[in-house]
Structure 1
């Protein structure tokens, strides 16, 4: 838990929740809080405690982009969530879209552009979204609305190259996949858009579960989430986020991204969906540990 990414605080919160639930489920748990001395720190800590399974509660770069997964593979330790390739693909939004496109999954078009150019002109017609190509939790996301007079003034800490994608209008929907099972569809309702604060602040968003949507849209979300999970080669628990333009019916359903390590904080969606189908948090933790052991 922890790590150096922009999602460090989310990871610490997820890690604390998971550790508590794992103890309730009957496991002995050692919490390893990572700082910037990543590789050496991980090897030393894991060599010392000799775990049966590593529960990966890291988020963002290094934690869910295939890097720590590769290190755990090298150490020969079973670990939760997806493997090296699936993690790397999902974290790279462009590569993930390539995989979705090859699997005939619905996505919006996008380009990779220099941040300096994006600050100077509209590189695609508005409305569009600008985001880092490899961050999560809505970190560094800018929405440029139709009719905007000027391009977005990106902050100085944005990467040199960014993704610019066509804005997908509509309702915010999400589905958790647990192994080969899609659990449910949740609608996320916010006053503005589903940014970092809305995701991780109590009361920042409202979750409607099950989403009040037609049966064909629910079925499509469940099917598309499983297909997206498989297209990336994911394992364990994932969460697929959608936008749905209800005026267009099923054709208005767009995959935004697959999160290979969904948050496990008190406001997170995946544990909420598991609870909705009768799987409490300690039982979910137990399933994830057993899934990691079986895959190893």
Structure 2
């Protein structure tokens, strides 16, 4: 349970949004929802925007920026410098002429960054260096969850059922496009789907029915990443499960996506009415149990933490379940499946945010108890220390 920090003050929660990603605008939509719904009696939200070029800013007017429906620009706020090390949890607000002031330390960070440079372990690594608790998966789980090629190989190695797939690098595509096309046709056939290995929100996913469409799909996918994943098309229902927890995660009931378009496109995900979200999904109890078991297995396979959404295909002809992917920072918009599934389970959106912050503090407290020296190295053995910005929470040792 989250308590107030020392002196009874509210915990300062940094909400990271924007970023260097094709999902920049999606991040703003999710961050707007978190910013507006967070429990202001317990938490003081500190919105931190990241421009498309990677500049961190402290917005002049966060609510106006988040509601503007456009990307984050440097002129929207004061530039920030991140200062890692023992005095962590600190951000330096820069000013003209090189002067600056320290931002009051953050107690926890809620990254609402979808896609590359946010969901892929890069920001998580920076937050580890800052020694600040943060919501969601760690460096390794974030990186694996973002890279669909590695993720699917890991799932397959753990015995989880996945759709047959092929990985194509940009180098090989440029060198031998004809051989790549022939190999995909022989292995997967048509229809098939092309997608960047490291991107989400259905950005640059294309359904391909012939050679021309396959070539165009690979070109588009490889414009976003150095690797593309090509998957066999399956006639299936699209189901999703939300997972919540750290070492002992829980799985929600499944929800079903019924896109208005031919498949679940970017536009269908983030346009009202673009898809029908059915909560809970009308599936037999045995399918629900199998999905929950597989969702937790996928969560634990990548060593995820805090939250994840696991997506499935349920083949219409065979009734076979296939694990599609895991999303370690699922969408938090008003149309997003992850919070809707927990709300259906009796955990309202505001309480879900609080629970995720609790899990972040709990995980950070466990890591702080680990030794970081060996033998008689002197000094403290624990990772923690920081700048003394204690949180006064149950989970922080």
TM-score tier, shorter chain, comes to over 0.9
Match of 1:57 among 91, 95, 112: 112
Match of 1:9 among 3, 25, 33: 25
TM-score, length basis structure 1: 0.93
RMSD: 2.0
**Deviating more after overlay: 57-66 vs 45-54:** 45-54
| Aligned partners of 2:343 and 2:349 also within 8 Å | yes
Q: Which residue is equivalent to 2:353?
A: 285
Aligned pair in 2 of structure 1 residues 51, 72: CA closer, same or farther (>3 Å)?
A: same
Runs of 5+ unmatched residues, structure 1: none
1:107 deviates by 0.4
Q: Number of residues paired by the alignment?
A: 292
Which structure is higher in RCO with an 8 Å CA cutoff and minimum separation 6?
A: 1
**Could you say what secondary structure the match of 1:143 adopts?**
strand
Match of 1:174 among 240, 244, 250: 240
In the alignment, does 2:54 pair up with 1:37? yes
Aligned pair in 2 of structure 1 residues 22, 279: CA closer, same or farther (>3 Å)?
A: same
| Aligned partners of 1:15 and 1:264 also within 8 Å | yes
1:246 deviates by 3.0
Deviations 1:137-185 (A, max 9, x none): 011111123xx36343235534453111222321010000011100110
**Considering only CA atoms, is the larger Rg found in Structure 1 or Structure 2?**
2
Q: Which residue is equivalent to 2:154?
A: 99
1:214 deviates by 1.4
1:121 deviates by 3.2
Match of 2:259 among 190, 201, 209: 190
TM-score, length basis structure 2: 0.70
Q: Which residue is equivalent to 1:134?
A: 198
Aligned mates of 1:194, 1:278 — CA distance in 2: 27
Structure (1/2) with the larger helix percentage:
1
Aligned pair in 2 of structure 1 residues 141, 42: CA closer, same or farther (>3 Å)?
A: farther
Runs of 5+ unmatched residues, structure 2: 1-16, 57-78, 84-88, 92-102, 365-397
Structure (1/2) with the larger strand percentage:
2
Match of 1:230 among 282, 296, 300: 300
